[in-house]
Structure 1
Amino acid sequence: MGRSRATKPTREQKVLMSNAGLMVSNWLVLQETKTELRLVSRGAGISRTIKKGPTRR
């Protein structure tokens, strides 16, 4: 299924996170699907889900 460990975000993931109003340096990526991005906080361990918008290509 998804990754079991949190990883550093890619450039595209960082853009999604900053558009959602998050500080990129404080979050790690748990899982990425076609519709959402699941994150975990580096400090507190709080999880959060960000919905992805329509892709532009």
Structure 2
Amino acid sequence: MDTSHVSALEEKHRGLETRLRDEMNRPAPDNSRIQALKKQKLRIKEEIAHH
């Protein structure tokens, strides 16, 4: 297992979580952007699980 790759994926996942939280806290959240961020998070989570 390449731990540096997994660490990088986990860091990216955390960054997406922050962006998602920021978008959801805006006065007028962009639902399409929220959905796109959620999909990116899911793909990363699945890739982490496969390692």
More strand by share: 1
With normalisation by structure 1, the TM-score equals 0.26
Which entry has the higher C-alpha Rg, 1 or 2? 2
With normalisation by structure 2, the TM-score equals 0.28
Q: Which has the higher contact order (CA 8 A, sep 6+)?
A: 2
More helix by share: 2
